[in-house]
Structure 1
Amino acid sequence: MNDVTLRLKGLTKTYLKGKPGEVQVLRGVDLDLRAGEAVAMVAPSGAGKSTLLHIAGLLDMPDEGTVEIGGQNVSGEGDRTRTALRRQDVGFVYQFHHLLPEFTALENITLPQLANGVPDKAAQARALDLLDRVGVAARASHRPAALSGGEQQRVAFCRALANAPRVLLADEPTGNLDPETSDQVFDTLMKLVRDEGLSALIATHNLDLAARMDRMVRLEGGVLRPVA
């Protein structure tokens, strides 16, 4: 828990800068995430949590500030390098599973590995292992439409972890699920975080789930503040 995997320093982001309707979303965000640590991020609607997750995950660029992964400043890298870093070092989970509907659960987890140069047999073995660990190995040959909501989200977790990233970023990962399923899926997510030694930043409106993580921060007024 001593190694900082993801470090955000002085992140700012303004939309429509210098134009009518200018909105300063981030005003100097700082955050350190350590290996095996799950941090809950709570925020009012429109506070900029998706913007922050996109910048942390190298999908967007800050106006100022840096993103460091594994001690390396990656925020200034070009598109090709950022894409490679994102594919290898960052996993994303969203409120909706976004699984490819024409592919099976197994294929949805195998494909990101193949795109990253992993041999087919090794990719399938990793996919099956992940599915087994989240309790849906028996559903490996099913397409997303044949899976329950909880099963779909578990498969989405597996896909996010397919390439063994260092960082997991999740945006309301249980938001589409009923309370009982949400609890079960959250427990699965936390076990994966611990087992894989991930640094996880999880945005959620569910304060009960947030309280079960290692710590909680609130994004408000463009900055992150700790929540006691």
Structure 2
Amino acid sequence: MSEAILELSGVTKAYKRGEAGEVQVLRGVDLVLKPGEVVALVAPSGAGKSTLLHIAGLLDTPDAGEVRVGGQAMQGRSDRRRTAVRRADLGFVYQFHHLLPEFTAAENIILPQLANGVSRTEAEARAESLLARVGLSQRMEHRPAALSGGEQQRVAFCRALANSPRVLLADEPTGNLDPGTSDQVFAALMDLAAGTGLGALIATHNLDLAARMDRVLRLEGGRLVPA
């Protein structure tokens, strides 16, 4: 079996909410994600899926439990080290694309690479390769305002993969798209995962799309269970 690229073990998280006191959101979450595996995360609103994604993505810390990325334990690591792992090994996509409007599709993918120390030539070649893989070779020089919603979200996927992360974390990445466009974006994601060995955890309300992923997990009562 392939080594896990993301592991959560016994992860708990609670928040203080005014007079309501402490609200326990996660109650011992366990997850193992393997290379090339695309896993759906389904949950009702307010169940804690965004909290789970933030902890998996090292944007938040658990109250207890362990997060491992590529076999490295993250508990107790410095903010600088967590940031370095997040930049190198994790990619994020949200419901809204958050592309930089003043830059072209290609530039939106080039910039994260330059920030990570990649040469301009390499960054341009990777941007061109990723955009070709999702069918956007002819749209490289277009700014986001000139792209459709589906095209913008495909560029957002490419940007998330610019620095060759091991893991993609996505929070309702097709939630803002019509069904046909959603299918197109999802197909591009599955192709990217298959072609790069990327592991992906995708939070979605779209049960049809979830059923096409390798596994479906449901967040229920603060724990992950097979759906």
Fold in common (TM above 0.5): yes
TM-score between the two structures when normalised by the length of structure 2: 0.97
Q: 1:157 is matched with which residue?
A: 157
Paired with 2:167 and 2:95, the residues of 1 have a C-alpha distance of 18
Paired with 1:5 and 1:222, the residues of 2 have a C-alpha distance of 22
What amino acid is aligned across from residue 48 of structure 2 in structure 1?
A: G
- Once the two structures are TM-superposed, the CA of residue 22 in structure 1 deviates from its matched residue by 1.6
Paired with 1:19 and 1:201, the residues of 2 have a C-alpha distance of 34
- Structure 1, residues 115-170: CA drift from partner, whole Å, max 9, x if none? 11001110111011100111111111111111000100000000000000000001
Q: 2:31 is matched with which residue?
A: 31
Paired with 2:140 and 2:171, the residues of 1 have a C-alpha distance of 25
- Once the two structures are TM-superposed, the CA of residue 17 in structure 1 deviates from its matched residue by 7.9
Q: 2:16 is matched with which residue?
A: 16
TM-score between the two structures when normalised by the length of structure 1: 0.97
Runs of 4+ in 1 over 2 A off after TM superposition: 17-21
Paired with 2:130 and 2:203, the residues of 1 have a C-alpha distance of 23
Paired with 1:204 and 1:123, the residues of 2 have a C-alpha distance of 31
- Structure 1, residues 77-100: CA drift from partner, whole Å, max 9, x if none? 111111111111000011100101
Identity %: 73
Residue-pair matches, total: 227
Q: 2:118 is matched with which residue?
A: 118
- Once the two structures are TM-superposed, the CA of residue 74 in structure 1 deviates from its matched residue by 1.6
User: Aligned to 1:219, what secondary structure does the other structure show?
Assistant: strand
**Runs of at least 5 residues in structure 1 that lack an aligned partner in the other structure:** none
What amino acid is aligned across from residue 21 of structure 1 in structure 2?
A: G
Larger deviation, residues 79-88 vs 154-163: 79-88
What amino acid is aligned across from residue 58 of structure 1 in structure 2?
A: L
- Once the two structures are TM-superposed, the CA of residue 16 in structure 1 deviates from its matched residue by 1.1
Q: 1:178 is matched with which residue?
A: 178
Q: 1:79 is matched with which residue?
A: 79
**Runs of at least 5 residues in structure 2 that lack an aligned partner in the other structure:** none
Paired with 1:194 and 1:19, the residues of 2 have a C-alpha distance of 48
Paired with 1:200 and 1:162, the residues of 2 have a C-alpha distance of 15
- Once the two structures are TM-superposed, the CA of residue 21 in structure 1 deviates from its matched residue by 3.1
RMSD: 1.3
